[in-house]
């Protein structure tokens, strides 16, 4: 087992220790996690239960598993453990209540009975407590402020006053309707996010991290600053299966950060490379962060459209990381790793190539127009088939027979495209039965069971965040306070769009100091998205703008979650890591602004250049311009290009980058001219200095 795989197994979850607890309570929590995953997979595959019931049961499972883990892993005394288990059972009971009385609740919507009010109130209280325990105090406080506004807003002065709502109406909205806790975020968590989290857990257990690390080591380990380049590439690859940035830091940082430090990188820079590249996993197609699924559902567009908008910015983001690592290594006089010590990247692919097949199938299904829930379910099922088939294939001696076995299994699994999900279910049941008959097969079944449990546990933070942020969305919908904020943004943007964008960015960064990316995106996009749309910003671009700065909040001091997650492994201050990460993530700050003024960067609306030369030419030019801006700003941030730069050189490079990004009349021409002249002069000066040194 590799170092990285151990790191995944030992990864703490949002403050929860690893594992499920000891003794019978631990086994109970483990079984609950498995039941949660099985329930969600069944719903994804067959979808025979009403959506409202699925949402309620999803929250019920989240509360049951969440409080069970708090009881087993945090509580010290027996009474405390019993109290948390009781809260979990009550939380699960709220889901069962919605299932049992589903028809009755629809019939008496708006006219709740006393039991309804009790169950609804209990649900709201339990969601707040679970969020406080699992996600920290800030998110719970923000949601509570919105909830309190519903109760006291009718006593506030204009423009914050609303008409007032009685207790029963608020319980109906937040605890039973589809605008509160059971709103769009929890629907996306139940329908899409959970399946993809479990999918990632299966791939990780199957050895995908080892494949990514070996491939990255072999491919870029010999480059200048090789260990840090490996970190960037492996994190980008991890981003294709996992959208959790902070989790990626913990999982891969145990391996990459010490490696970077051994090869001479400063601890703060090593931690920053891991934090920056891991957070980029949320914007890395094809499987982006959970926000991407919420965005697709909110905008009512195919998930593939979100992926299309993210492709170029993601490449620019990781390209900027590669570039600055290259410059930092040059400044420090560091070289790459010896090729003789590195694995062959293509040998790694040949050894683990079957793991790529489920990911390839997932990508195909997403871009072929299938829904994310179908694509994710099929990708997960194919991964399970692959894992279960491996020990059976190992029993077959002759290579030709193994090939025939895999071809037959592959054709049987692929037939779901024609015969539906039932054929995959039959194949999986047959493989499970076969694996029960010998030791290696039973060990493989244990891997699958562990993956189901770990997937459910990994989905806890996302699900709880989606549940409590429903309180915020419900408040915005019920009171109409969002229109006040939107009007404020519009009034500012009428005179200065850049100022509106700056205000939106600051809102995202400030909110991100206390809450994760998902609630940050949901809250800010609900407020700023419509305002930016009214100012002429395409809807997808405005939502991506908010999404990007929600991610940047995890890198930006003073509260940089990803940076502080890397701090123990780097043995450096989280604040210092955050400052370095902010420099490394320069593309994450620049690209959203560029996309607003030139939406073609996100493959959206065409601009004036397209009318004259065609859309592909416009996209190519904007990408080249963005790359030059990254080159200039990277050099300015690091203070090195062909050689160390003086302060005035860094200022010139920064100014040239600003001119290229500004998108004003004649700024492009001035930026290109200044960039070419400065780079030419700098390289000539570096060559002269080199000649003088050799002489």
The whole-number pLDDT of residue 124 equals 94
The whole-number pLDDT of residue 519 equals 77
- Average pLDDT, stretch 403-430? 79
Task: Tell me the range of 6-10, 446-450, 485-489, 509-513 where mean pLDDT is highest.
Answer: 446-450
What band does 532 get if pLDDT is binned at 50, 70 and 90?
A: confident
- Average pLDDT, stretch 138-154? 87
- Average pLDDT, stretch 27-39? 94
Say if residue 83's pLDDT is above 80.
Answer: yes
- Average pLDDT, stretch 268-289? 81
Dihedral in degrees, nearest 10, Cα atoms 200, 204, 207, 210 = 110
Output phi, psi for 407, to 5 deg. -65, -45
What band does 12 get if pLDDT is binned at 50, 70 and 90?
A: very low
Within a domain: 391: no
- Average pLDDT, stretch 530-547? 84
Within a domain: 441: no
Task: Tell me the range of 63-72, 210-219, 341-350 where mean pLDDT is highest.
Answer: 63-72
- The set of long-range contacts for 560-565, using a CB threshold of 8 Å and a minimum separation of 24, is 560/275, 561/246, 561/516, 562/245, 562/246, 562/249, 562/275, 562/276, 562/278, 562/279, 563/271, 563/272, 563/275, 565/246, 565/249, 565/250, 565/253, 565/275
Closest CA to 323 of 216, 255, 224: 224
Say if residue 142's pLDDT is above 90.
Answer: no
- Average pLDDT, stretch 507-512? 74
* Mean per-residue pLDDT over the chain, rounded: 82
Within a domain: 406: no
Tens of pLDDT, residues 347-393? 777 777 777 788 788 778 877 777 777 888 888 888 888 888 888 88
Termini Cα distance of the chain? 52
Say if residue 197's pLDDT is above 60.
Answer: yes
**CA 399 – CA 532 distance, rounded (Å):** 60
CA dihedral over 30, 36, 37, 42, signed as positive or negative: positive
Q: Which of 186, 211, 230 is the endpoint of a domain? A: 186
The whole-number pLDDT of residue 239 equals 63
Say if residue 579's pLDDT is above 50.
Answer: yes
Within a domain: 227: no
Within a domain: 371: no
The whole-number pLDDT of residue 21 equals 85
What band does 15 get if pLDDT is binned at 50, 70 and 90?
A: low
Domain carrying residue 104: 23-186
- Average pLDDT, stretch 134-144? 83
Determine the angle formed by the axes of helices 539-552 and 586-597, rounding to 10 degrees. 160
Within a domain: 68: yes
User: For residue 639, with 0-12 CB atoms within 10 Å meaning exposed, 13-18 middle and 19 or more buried, which class applies?
Assistant: middle
- Average pLDDT, stretch 104-124? 90
The whole-number pLDDT of residue 332 equals 79
What band does 56 get if pLDDT is binned at 50, 70 and 90?
A: very high
The whole-number pLDDT of residue 244 equals 57
Which has the minimum average pLDDT: 90-99, 516-525, 646-655?
516-525
- Average pLDDT, stretch 557-576? 74
Residue 290 or 196, more confident:
196
Residue 467 or 610, more confident:
467
Length of the chain: 695
Say if residue 594's pLDDT is above 90.
Answer: no
The whole-number pLDDT of residue 9 equals 35
The whole-number pLDDT of residue 68 equals 94
The whole-number pLDDT of residue 14 equals 46
**CA 630 – CA 589 distance, rounded (Å):** 11
Tens of pLDDT, residues 616-647? 888 898 889 888 988 898 888 888 888 888 88
What band does 449 get if pLDDT is binned at 50, 70 and 90?
A: very high
Say if residue 11's pLDDT is above 50.
Answer: no
CB hemisphere CA count around 626 (13 angstroms): 31
The total number of structural domains in the chain stands at: 2
What band does 2 get if pLDDT is binned at 50, 70 and 90?
A: very low
Within a domain: 133: yes
- Average pLDDT, stretch 323-337? 82
Say if residue 693's pLDDT is above 80.
Answer: no
The whole-number pLDDT of residue 230 equals 80
Q: H helices within 286-371, ranges in order? A: 290-299, 303-332, 345-352, 356-367
Say if residue 562's pLDDT is above 80.
Answer: no
Within a domain: 282: no
The whole-number pLDDT of residue 3 equals 33
- Percent pLDDT > 90 in the chain is 15
Instruction: Name every residue whose Cβ is closer than 8 Å to that of residue 352 and which is 6 or more positions away in sequence.
Output: 207, 208, 210, 211, 214
3 state SS for 530-562? HHHHHCCCCHHHHHHHHHHHHHHCCCCCCCCHH
Q: Which of 186, 206, 239 is the endpoint of a domain? A: 186
Judge whether 379 and 361 are in contact, CB under 8 Å.
Answer: yes
**CA 68 – CA 81 distance, rounded (Å):** 8
Output phi, psi for 627, to 5 deg. -65, -40
- Average pLDDT, stretch 667-693? 86
The whole-number pLDDT of residue 217 equals 78
**CA 166 – CA 461 distance, rounded (Å):** 31
Q: Which of 186, 217, 237 is the endpoint of a domain? A: 186
């Amino acid at each position: 087992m590799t170092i990285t795989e151990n790191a995944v197994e030992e990864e703490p979850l949002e403050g929860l220790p690893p594992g499920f607890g000891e003794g019978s309570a631990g086994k109970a929590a483990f079984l609950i996690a498995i039941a949660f995953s099985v329930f969600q997979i069944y719903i994804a595959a067959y979808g025979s239960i009403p959506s409202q019931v699925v949402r309620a049961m999803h929250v019920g499972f989240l509360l049951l598993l969440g409080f069970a883990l708090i009881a087993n892993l945090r509580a010290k005394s027996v009474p405390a453990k019993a109290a948390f288990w009781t809260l979990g059972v009550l939380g699960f009971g709220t889901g069962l209540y919605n299932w049992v009385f589903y028809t009755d609740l629809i019939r008496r919507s708006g006219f709740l009975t006393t039991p309804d009010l009790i169950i609804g109130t209990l649900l709201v209280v339990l969601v707040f407590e679970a969020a406080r325990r699992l996600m920290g105090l800030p998110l719970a406080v923000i949601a509570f402020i919105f909830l309190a506004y519903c109760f006291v807003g009718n006593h506030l002065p204009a423009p914050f006053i609303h008409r007032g709502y009685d207790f029963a109406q608020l319980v109906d909205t937040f605890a039973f309707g589809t605008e509160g806790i059971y709103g769009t975020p929890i629907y996306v968590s139940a329908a899409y996010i959970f399946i993809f989290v479990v999918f990632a857990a299966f791939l990780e257990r199957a050895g995908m991290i080892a494949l990514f690390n070996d491939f990255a080591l072999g491919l870029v380990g010999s480059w200048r600053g090789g260990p840090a380049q490996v970190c960037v590439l492996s994190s980008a690859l991890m981003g294709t299966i996992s959208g959790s940035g902070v989790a990626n830091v913990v999982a891969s940082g145990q391996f990459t950060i010490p490696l970077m430090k051994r090869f001479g990188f400063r601890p703060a820079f090593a931690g920053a490379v891991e934090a920056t590249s891991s957070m980029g996993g949320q914007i890395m197609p094809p499987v982006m962060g959970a926000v991407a699924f919420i965005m697709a559902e909110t905008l009512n567009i195919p998930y593939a459209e979100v992926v299309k908008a993210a492709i170029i910015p993601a490449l620019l983001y990781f390209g900027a990381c590669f570039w600055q690592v290259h410059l930092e290594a040059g400044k420090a006089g560091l070289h790459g790793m010896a090729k003789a010590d590195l694995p062959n990247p293509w040998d790694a692919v040949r050894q683990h190539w079957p793991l790529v097949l489920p990911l390839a199938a997932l990508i195909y299904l997403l871009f072929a127009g299938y829904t994310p829930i179908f694509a994710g379910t099929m990708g997960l099922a194919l991964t399970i088939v692959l894992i279960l088939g491996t020990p059976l294939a190992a029993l077959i001696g002759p290579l030709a027979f193994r090939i025939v076995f895999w071809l037959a299994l592959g054709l049987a699994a692929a037939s779901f495209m024609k015969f539906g999900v039932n054929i995959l279910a039959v194949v999986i049941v047959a493989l499970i039965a076969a694996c029960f008959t010998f030791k290696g097969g039973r060990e493989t079944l244990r891997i699958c069971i562990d993956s189901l449990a770990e997937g459910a546990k990994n989905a806890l933070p996302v699900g709880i965040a989606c549940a409590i942020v429903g309180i915020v969305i419900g408040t915005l919908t019920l009171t109409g306070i969002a229109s006040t904020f939107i009007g404020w943004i519009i009034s500012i943007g009428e005179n200065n769009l850049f100022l509106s964008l700056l205000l939106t960015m600051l809102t995202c960064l400030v909110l991100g100091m206390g809450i994760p990316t998902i609630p940050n995106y949901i809250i800010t996009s609900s407020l700023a998205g419509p305002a930016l749309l009214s100012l002429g910003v395409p809807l997808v671009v405005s939502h991506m703008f908010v999404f990007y700065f929600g991610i940047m909040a995890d890198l930006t001091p003073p509260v940089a979650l990803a940076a502080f997650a890397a701090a123990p492994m780097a043995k450096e201050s989280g604040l210092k890591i955050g400052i370095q990460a902010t420099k490394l993530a320069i593309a994450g700050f620049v690209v959203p602004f560029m996309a607003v003024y030139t939406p073609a960067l996100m493959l959206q609306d065409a601009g004036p250049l397209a009318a004259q030369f065609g859309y592909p030419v416009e996209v190519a030019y904007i990408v080249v311009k963005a790359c030059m801006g990254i080159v200039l700003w990277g050099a300015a941030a690091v203070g090195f290009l062909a050689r160390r730069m003086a302060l005035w050189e860094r200022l010139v490079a920064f100014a040239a980058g600003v001119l290229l990004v500004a998108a004003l009349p004649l700024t492009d021409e001035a930026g290109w001219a200044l960039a070419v002249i400065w780079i030419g002069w700098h390289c000539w000066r570096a060559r002269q200095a080199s000649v003088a040194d050799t002489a």
